[in-house]
Amino acid sequence: MPTASIAMFVDYGSPLARRVAGDIWSGLARAALDAGYSRTSAYWESLDEPELQAIPGDTTVQIFVLGQDRPEAVEGVGEAALTDGSGVYGLVVAVPHRPSPLTGSLLYQGVERLKGRGVRAGAIEPALLHALPSECEAYARKLLGHVRRQEVAG
């Protein structure tokens, strides 16, 4: 049985990002079990000062979570990405009940930073998420579905 290895890069300075990251992780843990992964390994890192050099395991998912309340954190997205040409990259901007009209631009900037590091656009799953467990779990399931499609194609 395969192991799902997931790296979460979180802007810990943002209460929105911390909350959404926790909800995404809860959703990933449930979705991984449902998808047949025997084990799930999580690596939590700061988006500002990542220390992770490699992600061990069969399946690689990297998720970057920043909050609308700290737009400057998008600078760390490209620097934190571990790029080896495989895996799925989730990019999340955590938003409050009423998102700013500028959050779409923030999401776009993050995607561009990942692409600048050599990540294929098709491997990136961008999302604007509220701190709602059901919304975050649906996103987590989408990420793992993307991983499954890559495994079948590869």
Residue among 127, 94, 84 at smallest CA distance from 13: 94
- What's the pLDDT tens digit per position in 122-154? 999 999 999 999 999 999 999 988 877 766 565
CA angle 72, 75, 81 (to 5 degrees): 140
- What's the pLDDT tens digit per position in 72-122? 999 999 888 877 667 899 999 999 999 898 899 999 999 999 999 899 999
Residue among 120, 122, 130 at smallest CA distance from 92: 130
Mean pLDDT of 31-56: 81
